[in-house]
Structure 1
Amino acid sequence: MKEKVNQMFKDKLFLVMLVLGLLTIVAAAGVFTVQRGKGNETNPYLEVPQPEMIAQETDPELPPVAGASDGTKNAKDIIQAPSQTAVAKNENQGNDLAAEAGAGQNAAEALVLNFNDSSKMTWPVRGNVILDYSMDQTIYFPTLDQYKCNPGIVIQADVSTPVEAPANGKVLEVGVSDEIGSYVVLDLGNEYKATCGQLKEVCAVEGEYLKQGQIMGYVSEPTKYYSVEGVNVFFELQHQDKTVDPLNFME
């Protein structure tokens, strides 16, 4: 009996000690956790600063920026700079695309018109002169079968050949006449005017500025006044409303 009592006492004592040991371990773990939370251990995760913190801080290691009074640039400015550059780039690209597409560029651009007695023109089309300028005497017109004065020159050409502006000019008039068909009148400056006739598909617009060599239209079939002479471009040059010989100004 005595041995049973001793054995029970030993068992209870073992259980008590076991419970005390577990409590001690739990308490020690809690203290270690609290101390670890108060310590300065390195955080294993990368801390990303908030945007507003980046905007307020200045990095002393950044290189000096031209134009900055203190030789440094705020991080907020660095963040904003790419977006501003991108906007400007997009606007420039938009302008470049508009220019490539035409977009009324020629109509809006005012050229300096300074044609004078020493200026030279290019030919509206390349070809033989089948009827010369003649205002001091008459020349023979085969289709009309008569002699008369010619205020311009008649240049041989092929149907649908592009007709180019002979010099920088402003379109004064786009019209049609029985004799020279569809025509374009250009103001070259200093009271010089040029007229190109026998055209079709005229793309010049009144009030528009044309650069030298820019297409005004295309060669048409001749009117009934030039059926024998054949396909041609009529070209006339005036100064102070008086005709002059265009060949004197041709390159």
Structure 2
Amino acid sequence: MKEKMNQMFRDKLFLVMLVLGLLTMVAAAGVVTIRRGNGQEQKPYVDMQGQDEYFAEEAKDQAPVAGNSNAENSGSEITQEEQVLAEAASNQDNAAAEQGHIAEEAGPETGNGQNTGLAANGTKDDGADPAVKEAGAGGSAATALVLNFVDTSKMLWPARGNVLLDYSMDSTIYFPTLEQYKCNPGLVIQSEVSTPVYAPAAARVLEAGNNEEIGDYVVLDLGNDYTVTCGQLKEITAVQGEYLEAGQLLGYVAEPTKYYTIEGSNVFLEMRHGEKTVDPLDYLE
């Protein structure tokens, strides 16, 4: 019995030794594998010094450059391009500033030296001198007019002819058709029917109307409270609100009204400064 127990003990010891041996072999194999994984294996080709830099430089040289078939140095191109763009932007800013300065200096001024405040389309800005307007129908022409009539200014004759009745507000004069003496607030200028009648000065048309005494008429604003009325007209071409240059057509001489049948066809010319009539002969050239 004892012998049998010893035999079993030896068998178990053998098995333990066998298992330990196997475990030792497995552990040794694992260590070798780990060392191989961590170690540097010998490369199958010769390691060249600086080969990474060489291949990177070669790839850089062969890379296509967008917009440049010659593949020149991209760094210098970007620098030059940025410099050109910066100079162009600077020149553009300088040009815009210069244009603004020129526009400010070129703005028309009124007789008292104030800026007229005309907008780009020729209309008057708020606060601008109302005397400054544009010439042409409806004020649409490009040339600006300065309505700055003063005491020393001169007018053109609206039509050439003899003066049939003088201006007279201090005393009465005789009117042949009416067969009476009365004051005359204007000039009665002899002219033929259908003769053109022209604006005597740069003006804005305040009114175009008709009354029994002077027939169809036009009232013109010359600026600085000076106004002129031209009557005995027909086929009036001037429109209310329109700005006219001196010598621009107003209309044509009409047949005389019943107040001037004996005097004959004429142009009636009345001038006012404010509410007071003045003698047009003092201002006609």
CA distance in structure 2 between the partners assigned to 1:108 and 1:209 by the alignment: 5
| Native 8 Å contact 2:136 2:242 kept in 1 | no
Alignment match of 2:279 (pick from 237, 240, 245): 245
- Are 2:138 and 1:107 equivalent residues in the alignment? yes
Q: Larger relative contact order (C-alpha < 8 A, sep ≥ 6)?
A: 1
Find the partner of 1:150 among 181, 184, 202. 184
> 1:186 is matched with which residue?
220
The residue identity in structure 2 corresponding to 1:179 is E
TM-aligned CA deviation for residue 105 of structure 1 = 4.4
Q: 2:191 and 2:211 mapped to 1: Cα distance? A: 19
Please identify runs of 4+ aligned residues in structure 1 that moved more than 6 A.
none
Alignment equivalent of 1:199, drawn from 233, 243, 264: 233
- Counterpart in the other structure of 1:128: 162
Q: What is the letter of the counterpart of residue 129 of structure 1?
A: V
| Separation (CA, whole Å) in 1 of partners of 2:171 and 2:136 | 44
1:32 alignment partner in structure 2: none
Computing the radius of gyration over CA atoms, which structure comes out larger, 1 or 2?
A: 2
Alignment of 1:1-251 (within 5 A): 69=84, 105-109=136-140, 111-251=145-285
Q: Report what 2:48 is aligned to.
A: none
Aligned residues of 2:137 and 2:239 also touching (Cα < 8 A): no
Deviations 1:189-234 (A, max 9, x none): 0000000000000011000001000000000000000000001000
Cα distance in 2 for residues equivalent to 1:201 and 1:192: 25
TM superposition shift of 1:134: 0.1
Contact in 1 for aligned 2:136/2:245 (Cα 8 Å): no
The TM-score with structure 2 as length reference comes to 0.52
Return 5+ residue gaps in structure 1 as ranges.
1-55, 58-68, 71-103
Q: Give the superposed CA RMSD.
A: 2.0
CA distance in 1, matches of 2:205, 2:222: 9
Cα distance between partner residues in 1 of 2:139 and 2:228: 21
CA distance in 1, matches of 2:216, 2:166: 21
Secondary structure at the counterpart of residue 111 of structure 1: strand
Aligned residues: 154
- Amino acid paired to 1:217: G
The separation in 2 between residues aligned to 1:248 and 1:186, in whole angstroms, is 18
SS at match of 1:247: helix
**C-alpha displacement of 1:124:** 0.2
- State TM-score, norm by structure 1: 0.59
Secondary structure at 2:146 match in 1: coil
Task: Percent identity, please.
Answer: 66
Give, as a single letter, the amino acid of the residue that structure 1 aligns with 2:258. K
What is the CA-CA distance between 1:112 and the residue it aligns to?
A: 1.2
In structure 1, C-alpha distance between the alignment counterparts of 2:261 and 2:211, rounded to whole Å: 15
The amino acid across from 1:236 in the alignment is E
Measured in 1, the distance between the counterparts of 2:155 and 2:149 equals: 9
TM-superposed deviation, 1:107: 1.6
Deviation at 1:106, TM superposition (A): 3.1
